[in-house]
Structure 1
Amino acid sequence: MTNDVSFAAPSPGPSAPLTSAPLTSPAVPQPEQRRILRTALPGPRSRQLQRRRDAALPNGLGVTLPVFVERAGGGVLVDVDGNHLIDFASGIAVTSVGASAPAVVTRVREQAARFTHTCFLVTEYDGYVEVAERLNALTPGDHPKRTALFSTGAEAVENAVKIARAATGRPGVVVFDHAYHGRSMMTLAMTAKEVPYKSGFGPFPGEVHRAPYACPLRGPGGPGGVAEQALAALRELLERVGADTVAAVVVEPLQGEGGFVVPAPGFLAGVERIAREHGIVLVADEVQAGMGRTGTVFASEHEGIVPDLVCTAKALGGGLPLAAVTGRAELMDAVAPGGLGGTYAGNPVACAAALGVLEMLADGTLLHRARRIERTVREQLEPLAAELPAVAEVRGRGAMMAVEFVRPGSLEPDAELARAVAARCHAEGVLTLVCGTYGNVIRLLPPLVIPEDLLREGLDVLAASIRSAS
């Protein structure tokens, strides 16, 4: 089966000076930007490789779609059987600038030819410093800042907790319902979802307290009172545990694995205000929502908050493992020399990749693209919420969008329907991801460089899958 949709450039809106084609360079050829299905999915070569995988890897490593990718770029993944899949996952928000972006690939090649590693804690290199300088300038607030680089999002979050504890002399950490912060033991304690992330791995570190997140769809007090109710609960929690024992409040400005929840207006500003009142460090976990994904460089910018510490990862490295904690200089400097770092932290090749990502974000084109993607998603999917009782909500910001499914006539989560929709999309060559505390949300994370017509085709497949599965 082959899909031969022609590639026609759409007419961009007046405020979105975008092109249909992905950002490419002759030096880094991109896969043909079409959905092409040459076999059923997974194809015979992928199934053969899957048998090898099953024999060599543990069961604990799950997989969303068991196809093996040969190359990728723009909005397309090409598997070993020659199928071209529309990518609505971006490696879980990692390849936001594309999986083979010229600005990233060129810098990586040049750096790898010079040297691949020295350990920045042993001998230094300027790429690390340049990434830090750029993050210091880009993160919200004009106060003096410092940046420390790490390898993963969980590492960044865990080090933010360390920094907050060192700066305040307090042990406590406040997180929120539906939060996801990572898979290390400390970040698992901070993560809300039990299965599959926490089940069987306890006991977890203590001094972690959980407050309600201002979820408009399900929060207490109805849509109008969600923020007020959640902030009142946060104040009550701090009174109960002792605000003077809390080092940090860690919050996702737009929740990721928890269901792509956009907080009710005023909630994040209220959290910031409460943290300031009590001398608590406000940490924004921007691991999934940051680096242009929501149409601003950082999701915190939508609410006008200025976190004390900002955690970034995923898209920062353009596909290579890199993470960062950026924050107020006086907080970052509270840790004694040797207290931060890691063997691979701020690897020079990953830093080179990050500089390519930052170069692509610099002129604002990709931020416009993220906002354009949101408009397109809403245009094509929001009518389903009025048409189908099973679609509770289409929500998100920029290129971080989601559809939540419920049992008709209620807000009871329908995880079975979400899985069925994802399976139908996968069979048609559109890669989607399921998320949410209840597993009832389809999340959309297309690369910011996806061609407009490819995006629309993928959304057509998704909409048809929702209708048929419902």
Structure 2
Amino acid sequence: MTLAEDMPQIITESVPGPKTQEFLKKRDENVPAGLCSSTYPICIKRGEGAMFEDIDGNKFLDWVGGVGVLNIGYSRPELVKAVQDQATKYFHTIFNVIGHEGYVELAEGLNNTIPCRGEHKKTYFANSGAECDENAIKIAKAYTGRQGVICFSGAFHGRTNLTMALTAKKAYSRGMGPFPADIARAPYPYLYRAPKGYSEAEAIQYYVDGLKKVFDQGIPAKEVACLLVEPLQGEGGFIPAPIEWVKAVRQICDENGILLIADEVQCGNCRTGKYFASEYWAEAGAAPDIVTTAKSLAGGMPISAITGRDEVMDAAPAGTIGGTFCGNPLSCASGIAAMKIYKEEDFPAKARHIGEQVTAGFKAMAEKYDVIGDIRGLGAMIGVEFVKDRETKEPATELVANLIQEALQRGLLMESAGTDSNVIRFLAPLVMTDEQTKRGLEIFEESLKAALAK
């Protein structure tokens, strides 16, 4: 049996095992403390599919997937070969000086796939999610001639100076200012925590009105270049933007000459049951103007993309976009191979299948454990929100922290999300087998029982 087909198994007395403990000691001596979390005491040896093995021989089922990077799974042979083949030719060109075919081929593939407005689209590449979001804002400012940017509560867009200012949770930017001006924040449509007693329609209108207030109290509409929104919010708690809200936002943008940017860094590349989550928007007549994506774009190689219609993308003056490693040949080769597999093997369907299975499992648990307050998501991007009381909805932050540790000791890797870290995010690779899904749900419930017992 290959590791990709295997099941979680802990062979050491506990996690971390002795070899990993030695690694962690060396890590703490050589790496800044800000990167040395005690939440995940793991050192990987190898990974295949949705499974990885640590240096002590423990085997884990991965429900984090590199935080959305491993939709295609660990060590996909076709991606390995694509990178190896490219490495025999050349590692690097700076595309601004020496073009290469892989860059254009991957850009063309995205132009034919991403559901933003416009008959003819153009794409260029950066290296990370933060970089593509920052570049999208550059494009919007160049096209509109305006400076203002609107983002949302619960948003996460990165750790550069600009994207830290856009990111809502200040734990990600504490002590790092000053930050850019002309940024305003509107309320994201978090329906589970809408004002008590509101119907869904009333809640959506409440959030639409909250956006409109920003024009009076933050930045006048005619000074706003763009509005940046995650179709399914990640760090904020795995919250999908309701389509009726998106349609209203699209109309507001159109009435005021504002570009709508969909941040699909985490939710793109087949995760939500569509190749891109903004396909749901396009089907409702509310396609974005620009889409940014990264994470699973190249199955683990660092690359991100900015895509929009040609008149928008061509607005950036020469010299204002690009960078030394942007569109690196090795990353482009991996991205081309990944896109081929995503389409040929219908990865959106895989996401829908896995999502149906785990959602059914979580709903069955919700009937037994009243600490589960909400289950939400799209495709295989699912959030399970834990509360101390379903009536008050007080976040069960400590319970979730304990749940993650209990699951780790049983061979299941999970991560939290949400402003209060009370949401379990489900981001398992889309190659997870049905047997692994079943066992993962069993471990989840076993771990929940143990966490509740504490």
Common fold by TM > 0.5: yes
Q: Deviation digits for residues 356-393 of structure 1, max 9, x if unmatched? A: 11011113521111001111011111122232221101
Indicate if the aligned counterparts of 1:435 and 1:442 stay in contact, CA closer than 8 A: yes
Match of 2:393 in 1: 411
Match of 1:115 in 2: 90
The amino acid across from 2:276 in the alignment is F
Q: Is 2:432 the counterpart of 1:456?
A: no
Structure 2 CA distance for aligned equivalents of residues 210 and 46 of structure 1: 42
Q: Is 2:220 the counterpart of 1:242?
A: yes
Match of 2:251 in 1: 273
Match of 2:280 in 1: 302
In the TM superposition, what is the alpha-carbon distance from 1:31 to its structure 2 partner? 4.5
Unaligned runs of 5+ in 1: 1-6, 8-28
Structure 2 CA distance for aligned equivalents of residues 31 and 397 of structure 1: 25
Match of 1:193 in 2: 169
Indicate if the aligned counterparts of 2:208 and 2:245 stay in contact, CA closer than 8 A: yes
Indicate if the aligned counterparts of 2:49 and 2:74 stay in contact, CA closer than 8 A: yes
Match of 2:133 in 1: 157
Match of 2:451 in 1: 469
Q: Is 2:349 the counterpart of 1:368?
A: yes
Please report the TM-score for the alignment, with normalisation by the length of structure 1.
0.91
In the TM superposition, what is the alpha-carbon distance from 1:339 to its structure 2 partner? 1.3
Indicate if the aligned counterparts of 2:118 and 2:309 stay in contact, CA closer than 8 A: no
| 1:183 paired residue among 159, 168, 180 | 159
| 1:75 paired residue among 34, 47, 50 | 50
Match of 1:3 in 2: none
Kindly report structure 1 stretches of 4+ aligned residues shifted beyond 6 Å.
none
Which moved further from structure 2: 425-434 or 355-364?
355-364
The amino acid across from 1:172 in the alignment is G
Indicate if the aligned counterparts of 1:369 and 1:449 stay in contact, CA closer than 8 A: yes
Match of 1:48 in 2: 22
Indicate if the aligned counterparts of 1:31 and 1:71 stay in contact, CA closer than 8 A: no
Structure 1 CA distance for aligned equivalents of residues 84 and 354 of structure 2: 31
Structure 2 CA distance for aligned equivalents of residues 326 and 400 of structure 1: 23
The amino acid across from 1:463 in the alignment is E
Match of 2:240 in 1: 262
Structure 2 CA distance for aligned equivalents of residues 222 and 116 of structure 1: 55
In the TM superposition, what is the alpha-carbon distance from 1:265 to its structure 2 partner? 3.8
Which moved further from structure 2: 452-461 or 295-304?
295-304
Structure 2 CA distance for aligned equivalents of residues 110 and 216 of structure 1: 48
Counting only pairs closer than 5 Å after superposition, residues 28-67 of structure 1 correspond to structure 2 as 31-39=4-12, 40-63=14-37, 64-67=39-42
In the TM superposition, what is the alpha-carbon distance from 1:435 to its structure 2 partner? 1.0
Please report the TM-score for the alignment, with normalisation by the length of structure 2.
0.95
Counting only pairs closer than 5 Å after superposition, residues 47-446 of structure 1 correspond to structure 2 as 47-63=21-37, 64-140=39-115, 141-195=117-171, 197-220=172-195, 221-240=198-217, 241-304=219-282, 305-363=286-344, 365-408=346-389, 409-446=391-428
In the TM superposition, what is the alpha-carbon distance from 1:62 to its structure 2 partner? 4.0
Structure 2 CA distance for aligned equivalents of residues 226 and 328 of structure 1: 33
In the TM superposition, what is the alpha-carbon distance from 1:243 to its structure 2 partner? 0.6
Indicate if the aligned counterparts of 1:226 and 1:264 stay in contact, CA closer than 8 A: no
Structure 2 CA distance for aligned equivalents of residues 439 and 128 of structure 1: 38
Structure 1 CA distance for aligned equivalents of residues 437 and 300 of structure 2: 21
Q: How many residues align?
A: 442
Which moved further from structure 2: 235-244 or 122-131?
235-244
Structure 2 CA distance for aligned equivalents of residues 243 and 101 of structure 1: 46
* Partner SS, residue 349 of structure 2: helix
Unaligned runs of 5+ in 2: none
Structure 1 CA distance for aligned equivalents of residues 148 and 395 of structure 2: 32
Q: Deviation digits for residues 54-106 of structure 1, max 9, x if unmatched? A: 00001111444111101101110111111110010110010110111122111
Which moved further from structure 2: 36-45 or 460-469?
460-469
Indicate if the aligned counterparts of 1:131 and 1:351 stay in contact, CA closer than 8 A: yes
Structure 1 CA distance for aligned equivalents of residues 369 and 104 of structure 2: 52
Q: Deviation digits for residues 273-300 of structure 1, max 9, x if unmatched? A: 1111111010000000000001101111
Q: Deviation digits for residues 7-35 of structure 1, max 9, x if unmatched? A: 8xxxxxxxxxxxxxxxxxxxxx7555221
The amino acid across from 1:138 in the alignment is T
Structure 1 CA distance for aligned equivalents of residues 24 and 296 of structure 2: 27
Q: Deviation digits for residues 84-135 of structure 1, max 9, x if unmatched? A: 1001011001011011112211101101111111211221100000110011
Structure 2 CA distance for aligned equivalents of residues 407 and 147 of structure 1: 46
State the superposition RMSD in angstroms. 1.4
In the TM superposition, what is the alpha-carbon distance from 1:198 to its structure 2 partner? 1.4
Match of 1:4 in 2: none
* Partner SS, residue 312 of structure 2: helix
Structure 1 CA distance for aligned equivalents of residues 3 and 81 of structure 2: 14
Structure 1 CA distance for aligned equivalents of residues 420 and 376 of structure 2: 16
Q: Percent identity?
A: 39
Structure 2 CA distance for aligned equivalents of residues 37 and 468 of structure 1: 17
Structure 2 CA distance for aligned equivalents of residues 90 and 253 of structure 1: 19
Structure 2 CA distance for aligned equivalents of residues 106 and 446 of structure 1: 23
Indicate if the aligned counterparts of 1:425 and 1:462 stay in contact, CA closer than 8 A: yes
Structure 2 CA distance for aligned equivalents of residues 44 and 269 of structure 1: 54
Indicate if the aligned counterparts of 2:27 and 2:36 stay in contact, CA closer than 8 A: no
* Partner SS, residue 45 of structure 2: strand
Q: Deviation digits for residues 317-357 of structure 1, max 9, x if unmatched? A: 21010000000111110011121011110100000110111
Structure 1 CA distance for aligned equivalents of residues 281 and 365 of structure 2: 28
